Structure 1
Amino acid sequence: MLGAVVALPDSGGVVLTGRLSVEAQPWLADHVVLGRTLLPGTGLVELALTAGEAVGCATLDELTLAAPLVLPEQGAVQVRVVVGPQDADHRTVAVYSRPEGAEDASWTTHASGFLVEGVVSAGFDLVQWPPVGAEVVPVEGAYEVFRERGYGYGPVFRGLRAAWRRGEELFAEVA
């Protein structure tokens, strides 16, 4: 989804560029929310991780989603992923887009967060699966319920296999 990587000479940061469209990435047409094709949140995570790998910070420590990245029915969007300079603990990362060909349009911020070197502890243990004390949540018919609520998931996004609930926590197996 990203192509060029450009190092910023004044800061040590980098910018990665890309272009997204339903024509170029037809699998995106399988992710429709309230009638609009969106880049899934996992796509924003993937963009940030790709940028992190380019600068040697392959762990995404935090990512805050600010706005959905809506894909037009025709045409494309330009994407920029900006990674800030290395500080003592991390690098900042942000994902932006604007309509292709709209050079005077402002960039929309879709996500921002932090990249780090090494591995960050998850803070939970899932050695036992399904989790101890979790109750099965039926998933048959889940995609029909999602569609009634405005989420149109095509075949590419139908990976839910099983789910469990433990109090307020929800666990899922997704392939």
Structure 2
Amino acid sequence: MLSGRLSCATDPWLADHVVAGSVVFPGAGLVELVVAAGGRVGCGRVEELALVAPLVLPESGGVDVQVIVGAVDGGGRREVSVFGRGEGLGEDEAGWVRYASGVVVEESGEGSGVGVVSGLSEWPPVGAEPVVVEGMYEDLAAEGLSYGPAFQGVRAAWRRGEETFAEVVLPGSVGAEAGRFGVHPVLLDAALHVVASRGGGSGEVA
């Protein structure tokens, strides 16, 4: 079990992720927590992760979090869950809520780590058509996804059939924090913004 605390006072960039008027801890942040916890026991690859409920952050104070990684099974997989509750509650008091659950696996074989995707030796990708990204964040805000400056990282995008490609950055001072993370949640979240702007779909992200 890994324990910690989430707060907009500690990480001000969190306040720039607003959904339907509330500051919500990004799903990309839950991925980072799960990778960090799984990595401590050699299972730093996320096989699947389901978001059970939105983790809303308070205007003041913070949220206590726990990431619990289960025992390894015969296939090298471990179940993982992320819990949170308002800070300041005693150890015996209730209030823990499960916000995400999934499976992490051992970091071995060709699928582990970060590598170069085949077919991307040329950039932009061959056959991909440019996508207009100007006004994208205004459009997303109209749908209830209000991204502040820290989360506005998309600089360019292309599509090729069902594939979407994007260039994303860590805006402003957020970039100085990159070393604290495996992949900064702001960067991973930005990579999904072009997908979100397309609308529709099943709600699942590969």
* 5+ residue gaps, structure 1: 1-14
Alpha-carbon distance in 2 for matches of 1:63, 1:119:
20
Alpha-carbon distance in 2 for matches of 1:46, 1:163:
24
Q: Is residue 28 of structure 2 the alignment partner of residue 42 of structure 1?
A: yes
Q: Offset at 1:48? A: 0.6
State the secondary structure of the residue aligned to 2:104. strand
State the secondary structure of the residue aligned to 2:111. coil
More helix by share: 2
In structure 2, the CA distance between the partners of 1:93 and 1:124, relative to structure 1 (3 Å rule), is farther
Instruction: Give the one of 8, 28, 35 matched to 2:14.
Output: 28
Q: Does the aligned pair in 2 maintain the 1:48–1:60 contact within 8 Å?
A: yes
State the secondary structure of the residue aligned to 2:126. coil
Partner AA of 2:136 in structure 1 = A
Instruction: Give the one of 53, 59, 63 matched to 2:39.
Output: 53
Q: Does the aligned pair in 1 maintain the 2:83–2:96 contact within 8 Å?
A: no
For 1:96-115, list aligned pairs within 5 A. 96-102=83-89, 103-115=93-105
Instruction: Give the one of 135, 153, 164 matched to 1:159.
Output: 153
Q: Does the aligned pair in 2 maintain the 1:95–1:112 contact within 8 Å?
A: no
State the secondary structure of the residue aligned to 1:75. coil
Q: Does the aligned pair in 1 maintain the 2:84–2:98 contact within 8 Å?
A: yes
* 1:143-175, Cα deviation, whole Å (9 max, x unpaired): 221222222211211110111122232221111
State the secondary structure of the residue aligned to 1:62. strand
Q: Offset at 1:120? A: 5.2
TM, length-normalised to structure 1: 0.81
Q: Offset at 1:20? A: 0.7
Alpha-carbon distance in 2 for matches of 1:64, 1:125:
30
More strand by share: 1
Q: Offset at 1:80? A: 0.6
Aligned-residue Cα RMSD (Å) equals 2.1
Q: Does the aligned pair in 2 maintain the 1:159–1:174 contact within 8 Å?
A: yes
Correspondence for 2:127: 133
For 1:58-77, list aligned pairs within 5 A. 58-77=44-63
* 5+ residue gaps, structure 2: 170-206
Deviates more, 1:159-168 or 1:127-136: 127-136
* 1:117-151, Cα deviation, whole Å (9 max, x unpaired): 22553886533433332211011121221222222
Q: Does the aligned pair in 2 maintain the 1:59–1:119 contact within 8 Å?
A: no
